[in-house]
Chain A
């Protein structure tokens, strides 16, 4: 028997964003973590958390354009182990919310492993997946229109859905941006339970 899935707003989501030294989760360093929770369908900015991470791994010079972090900034940051324990304490048994699980989840798993933590295998909600789902839904409703792949860039997707433009792109700002995007997509998809979002 399948358990009944909880109502979508009956669970806590932790929106998370990582800035990394590249796209290879095996080699590249985690440089910054930002997290913010959604409780009762509202983004709780006051519980937002952001930290730099002392790099333990490769930093591809080309990645600097994306995260804008230079070595001087991260040198004195807390080590990865401390940061991952902070991430884990927050995430607990809640839902992990990311924009593109293909990048963030492997990095997190490696971070957990390096920190000697057991990966919790949390329920993951991915706003990129929700964007694809919404595009398919739109196509089903209006099959006469050409099927176009959705815009998945975080800022561009937000703009398309009428969310305000945010200037900053640090990990916490992007976590907040992801959380808001999630609230809009949840509504657009008409999802009522957590299962409909995973």
Chain B
């Protein structure tokens, strides 16, 4: 057909998930596209009646999804319906036209053909299990293939080189030089590894000579990864183990060794690159720029298709490495600490859920034997808070920073017990953030603090107060969220994420006080029978979606030079995300209802 695409075809093409379908597949679908007009009040399908035979994309107007006269969802421009009918062959909802509807529709056969495209199918498949269970329509976030999911084994250039443990360092160095590699595997049970770093740190720096046996300097057991592991998992292993060489295994056999550098080259903005940057920080003067690097990394990972929760995991690891580095700077200037201490991350950093760098939330605990040397720790905290600010973590307006929140272990234990025993509004606000503490650096044993948290389960009054605070977050009914009018913007944090985080914390304290992350706490609640599997799955999915959406919007704001915020206009989202957002809020409200019963909160 000559000329440009017809407007309806162009509209369909621009609407996710059709935007990414390969051209020939899309053209085939488009050739069967129909336009329909349905007046307000028309019923397109009835529960238990004839299922829909088409996939509908709304161009103008709106439809209501109802069951038993109860409105479950309102869909507007760019949103899609009909796929539950198509996939299950049953009509599980009433679909009623809410405002005069212009819709484009595709026959079932074309929808089936499109499902051959994995990415397209992914939009309809994720969460399908729950959708079928609850017979609720909703669309899903893209979970597409990306470079980050490439198997790390693809990076292997050659089979590994081995040397006997009885060989000398000189032999090893000659072999490595001849073969131009930076590591050798060492035969033995278990096998080990020597690297050029070892020659520097454990041989030369230790005053040893080339006749030293390899056995004296090797590292073992090996930290390995399966050759099929995705690249981002290999990153995690390299960072967690603090190593530069990663042997890859297939079954019991080592297939090859990849270096951090090789992994790094797969993405210059990867976490390994940022970590190397942190390790090379020579002085406090090089701290500025850290925040920007982390932001770029998060953007690259998100663009690569990594889930926001996984990105937050990397951000937390990097921030931890940064804090450790900064503490070393401080100790070098101030001298050895007079007592062991622990640096605590609080709030979202404590939960490892921070994606972009936000306000500092931290605290310092030191051993009771350091009580007389309090000024040392005050200066230490002051320095670290300043350095973190230099690196791009703004001061915390609420004032939850170590320079103010420091004390001996006994003081901290008393403080925690006070929060648990005498819940009061201000105390709860403080408790909320401190209850998510995590030790980031330092050698002090903080298990006494953990022991206090474990006591929360025996304090139903405390948990009830905490739950009541969590239920104070008003989540809008998804029906009221429309493209235009009063409820056309949403605060993703206050009206979506915070209610989940707060309630998950309540459940976590009750059933698994050592859990920190929201997803871990929700899973713990399910395992303990405090939440149904269905609720937990829906809320976890909603949480992941909301975190991802917020990160995407914030990165967009940063790239456009705007301050990242939490407000989102419904009209700025594609239909498929709007559907998903409304569905997520439904899940959050469902959690609130259950928590109200569970924690016996009466308003």
Contact = CB atoms under 8 A, between A and B. Distances in A.
A59 interface: no
- Give the contact-size bracket for chain B: 20 to 34
A163 B34 CA distance: 15
A184 B37 contact: yes
B6 A167 contact: no
A48 B105 CA distance: 15
Nearest to B110: A46
Nearest to B33: A45
Interface of B: 1-4, 6-9, 11, 30-37, 39, 59-61, 100, 102, 105
Given A50-B2, A52-B2, A164-B102, A43 B34 contact: yes
Contacts of B32: 46
Contacts of A160: none
A172 interface: yes
A127 to B, nearest CB: 13
B3 A179 contact: no
Interface of A: 41-46, 48-52, 162-164, 166-168, 170, 172-173, 176, 179-180, 183-184, 187
B35 A45 contact: yes
Contacts of B8: 45, 176
Given A48-B1, A173-B6, 18 more contacts: A42-B35, A43-B35, A45-B30, A45-B34, A46-B33, A50-B1, A162-B102, A163-B102, A164-B11, A164-B102, A167-B7, A168-B3, A168-B6, A176-B7, A176-B8, A176-B35, A184-B100, A187-B37
Contacts of B6: 45, 48, 168, 172-173, 176
B2 A46 contact: no
Nearest to B61: A162
Contacts of B33: 45-46
- Would you list the 7 A-B pairs with minimal beta carbon distance, nearest first? A183-B37, A43-B35, A46-B31, A42-B34, A166-B7, A45-B33, A42-B36
A164 B7 contact: yes
Contacts of B34: 42-45
A52 B33 CA distance: 23
Contacts of A172: 1, 3, 6
A167 B36 CA distance: 19
B7 A180 contact: no
B4 A162 contact: no
Nearest to A161: B100
A41 B39 CA distance: 13
A180 B34 CA distance: 11
A183 B36 contact: yes
Nearest to B11: A164
Given A45-B30, A46-B30, A163 B60 contact: yes
B1 A180 contact: no
B30 A180 contact: no
Which among B1, B6, B100 has the greatest number of chain A C-beta atoms within 10 A? B6
A138 B502 CA distance: 56
A49 B1 CA distance: 7
Contacts of A48: 1, 6
A180 B37 contact: yes
A190 to B, nearest CB: 10
Contact of B4 (A52, A163, A168): A168
Contacts of B59: 164
Nearest to A183: B37
Contacts of A164: 7, 11, 59-60, 102
Nearest to A73: B2
A152 B4 CA distance: 26
A180 B8 CA distance: 11
A134 B60 CA distance: 21
Nearest to B59: A164
A8 B61 CA distance: 23
Contacts of A168: 3-4, 6-7
A179 B35 CA distance: 9
A42 B102 CA distance: 11
A157 to B, nearest CB: 14
A43 B545 CA distance: 36
Nearest to A170: B3
Contacts of A51: 2
Contacts of A49: 1
